């Protein structure tokens, strides 16, 4: 055997192509070889932009001693979590069931049938070798114990797959104020470090606070959005958000920048600009779009997945400034720049390096200072770009674009590029590589895309989007539905030891929560009570077993639709400002292109007459929909 990843189209796998470990890609052949040789399997999961994945590769997988031992006793499989989020989900549930914190790299040791018996994250060389030797000894000399552990873990994961952890409680008794008190109201986000942006959480708190006139929640959102962009997590030179900060004040990030964070945060700051405006929100929106187009835009009009944390073998080297060089670089502008950034304190990182950070949100960066910092940045070697195109993350960006009426023409063009690039032989591709090779889509990509198309239907009134929405629903029902509860992550037929369900909201919203939301709006459009009942059943099931709203924020957003009886408003003329003020409700312009929608049948065009329906009833035609607008925040 030999290392099989050298020519692989996936960047993360190819990064390990010169390791002495005889890596294989995830697939039937690798597992058949494990069964044939009756060997334990190392499943190592990460992604190309992951700093600690690089560290473990350097310390362990590039080491000849480690490679020799792994090759002699194990089958080794590398997995890109971004390409196979279902594989990552299954093994992440295993490490958490073992009482450990998850993260990447995620390294699992499994039986030849895929069932895990050990899981860990970053492990240094000697500890890794010791762990492998102990597991190999148990596999050879105490197989019954190993088998019993694997079976018990599998049974536990199967039993808990469909429910959240934690004590059951009704969503209606959820104490929003009590829960808000557990967030960080000084620096924003969650208490302590590391800090992740958590877009579903921010959006839920924003909407809930507006609807309930909760000033504490609104201030938390303001504080979070302000501190996130002071600098560090947010890059004031190139634009774009990093994945998370290692400190509690959002300053020092893990420097990888992901399409999914930036796509979602575009929507967050755009909605915030409508309700809790600040001049900096528009700057962030514009620079984020610019960063996406400058650094992630592919020739086919779609967007790559990420840029790396490391360059030239160092974490953050591209993004940092040497304090000793800044006086020379900035010249006469140094004192003014230092008054804005405070290089030696407010912006300081380590080893005489700083990550520039504004001292307060209202400061401006003079163009002369910006241009000098920008020019220095451009002299650096840029980190690697992961040039795979993911349906799910592009769909998140499409949804963000479609959510804002002024960008809907741009969104339509982007949708056409998505369909042209990722719809092949009557099925949706989840991953597309530059060489044209593809990987099938998981539930995540289809759910996010369906949500974006529903938004496009509302924004444009084009009935052709309804046909696409229904086609996606057919695929989701046929390939992913579990008759007993929700939808499988990778379909009813899976190559995993456990068929996971994407139920938790984290940095990304749960695919099942997105489907519950989609079914709500589809049910009203089509007048289909079964879809509405399914949406409500899924949502109640999740919200009645909430472990923590931090992991259930999009489910809570869907529950607001039922709680507030969210409506669709149709008229031949929809004011763009009105659209933004509806918040939970959706507006659709009537036209000849959407008259076939059941929701609009037998509704004649009358000037300034609104047709309003929710999940329970349709109101008489009206010229006044002020009753749908949330109270003013003034």
For residue 298, report the phi and psi dihedrals to the nearest 5 degrees.
-90, 165
Q: Give the start-end residues of each E strand in 23-156.
A: 23-25, 40-46, 74-80, 106-110, 116-120
Question: Cβ(520)–Cβ(584) under 8 Å?
Answer: no
- Give CA separation, 222 vs 180, 185, 418, 423, in Å: 14, 10, 34, 40
pLDDT at res. 633: 67
DSSP letter, residue 14: H
Q: What angle do CA 67, 121, 351 make, to 5 degrees?
A: 95
Rounded to the nearest angstrom, the gap between the alpha carbon of residue 59 and the centroid of all alpha carbons in its chain is 29
Question: Cβ(248)–Cβ(380) under 8 Å?
Answer: no
Fold adopted by 177-213+273-307+386-558: Glycosyltransferase (1.50.10)
Mean pLDDT along residues 400-429: 91
pLDDT at res. 20: 97
- CA gap 419, 491 in Å, rounded: 21
Report pLDDT digits (tens) over 485-497. Answer: 789 998 877 889 8
What are 481's strand-pairing partners?
487
- CA gap 556, 205 in Å, rounded: 10
Report pLDDT digits (tens) over 575-614. Answer: 888 888 899 999 998 888 888 888 888 787 778 899 999 9
- At the top level of CATH, the class of 11-160 is alpha beta
Report pLDDT digits (tens) over 265-278. Answer: 999 999 999 999 99
Q: Which residues of the chain does CATH 3.40.30.10 include? A: 11-160
- CA gap 307, 242 in Å, rounded: 9
Report pLDDT digits (tens) over 523-549. Answer: 999 999 999 999 999 998 777 665 567
SS3 81: coil
pLDDT at 405 over 70: no
pTM of the full structure:
0.94
- List the structure tokens of 174: 């959820």
- List the structure tokens of 477: 């029902």
Q: Give the start-end residues of each E strand in 171-288.
A: 244-245, 253-254, 257-258
Q: Which residues of the chain does CATH 1.50.10.20 include? A: 177-213+273-307+386-558
- CA gap 70, 209 in Å, rounded: 53
């Amino acid at each position: 055997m030999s290392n099989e990843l050298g020519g692989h189209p996936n960047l993360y796998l190819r990064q390990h192509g010169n390791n002495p470990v005889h890596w294989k890609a995830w697939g039937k052949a690798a597992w058949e070889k494990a069964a044939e040789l009756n060997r334990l399997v190392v499943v190592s999961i990460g992604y190309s932009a992951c700093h600690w994945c690089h560290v473990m590769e350097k310390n362990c997988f590039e080491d000849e001693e480690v490679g020799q031992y792994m090759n002699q006793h194990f089958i080794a499989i590398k997995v890109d979590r971004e390409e196979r989020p279902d594989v990552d989900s299954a093994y992440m549930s295993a490490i958490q069931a073992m009482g450990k914190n998850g993260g990447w790299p995620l390294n699992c040791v499994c039986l030849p049938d895929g069932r895990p018996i050990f899981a860990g994250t970053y492990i240094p060389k000697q500890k890794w070798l010791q762990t492998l030797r102990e597991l190999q000894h148990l596999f050879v000399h105490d197989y019954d114990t190993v088998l019993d552990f694997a079976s018990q873990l599998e049974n536990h994961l199967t039993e808990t797959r469909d429910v959240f952890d934690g004590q059951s409680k009704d969503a209606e008794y959820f104490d929003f104020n009590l829960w808000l008190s557990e967030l960080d109201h000084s620096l924003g986000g969650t208490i302590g470090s590391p800090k992740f942006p958590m877009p579903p959480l921010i959006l839920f708190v924003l909407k809930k606070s507006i609807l309930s006139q909760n000033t504490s929640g609104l201030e938390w959102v303001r504080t979070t959005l302000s501190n996130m962009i002071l600098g560090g997590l947010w890059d004031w030179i190139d634009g774009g958000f990093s994945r998370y900060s290692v400190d509690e004040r959002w300053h020092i990030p893990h420097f990888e920048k992901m399409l999914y964070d930036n796509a979602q945060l575009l929507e967050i700051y755009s909605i915030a600009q409508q309700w809790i405006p600040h001049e900096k929100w528009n700057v962030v929106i514009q620079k984020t779009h610019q960063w996406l187009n400058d650094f992630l835009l592919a020739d086919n009009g779609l967007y790559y997945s990420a840029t790396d944390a490391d360059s030239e073998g160092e974490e953050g080297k591209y993004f940092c400034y040497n304090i000793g060089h800044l006086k020379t670089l900035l010249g006469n502008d140094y004192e003014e720049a230092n008054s804005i950034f405070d290089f030696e304190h407010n912006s300081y990182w380590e080893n005489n390096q700083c990550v520039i950070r504004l001292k307060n949100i209202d400061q401006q960066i003079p163009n002369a200072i910006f241009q000098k910092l920008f020019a220095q940045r451009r002299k650096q070697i840029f980190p690697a770009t992961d040039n795979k195109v993911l349906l799910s993350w592009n769909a998140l960006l499409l949804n963000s674009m479609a959510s804002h009426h002024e960008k809907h023409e741009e969104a339509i063009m982007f949708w056409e590029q998505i369909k042209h690039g990722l719809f092949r032989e009557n099925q949706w591709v989840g991953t597309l590589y530059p060489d044209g090779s593809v990987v099938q889509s998981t539930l995540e990509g289809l759910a996010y895309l369906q949500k974006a198309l529903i938004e496009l239907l509302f924004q444009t009134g084009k009935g052709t989007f309804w046909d696409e929405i229904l086609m996606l629903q057919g695929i989701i029902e046929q390939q992913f539905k579990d008759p007993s509860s929700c939808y499988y992550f990778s379909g009813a037929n899976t190559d995993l030891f456990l068929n996971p369900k994407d139920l938790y909201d984290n940095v990304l919203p749960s695919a099942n929560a997105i489907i519950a939301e989609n079914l709500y709006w589809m049910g009203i459009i089509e007048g289909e009570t079964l879809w509405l009942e399914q949406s409500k059943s899924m949502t109640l099931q999740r919200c009645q077993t909430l472990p923590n709203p931090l992991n259930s924020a999009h489910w809570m957003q869907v529950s607001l639709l039922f709680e507030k009886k969210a409506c669709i408003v149709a008229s031949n003329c929809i004011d763009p400002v009105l659209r933004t003020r509806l918040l939970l409700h959706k507006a659709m312009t009537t036209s000849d292109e959407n008259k076939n929608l059941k929701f609009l049948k037998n509704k004649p065009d009358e000037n300034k007459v609104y047709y309003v329906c929710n999940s329970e009833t349709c109101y008489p035609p009206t010229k006044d929909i002020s009753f749908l607008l949330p109270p003013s925040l003034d």
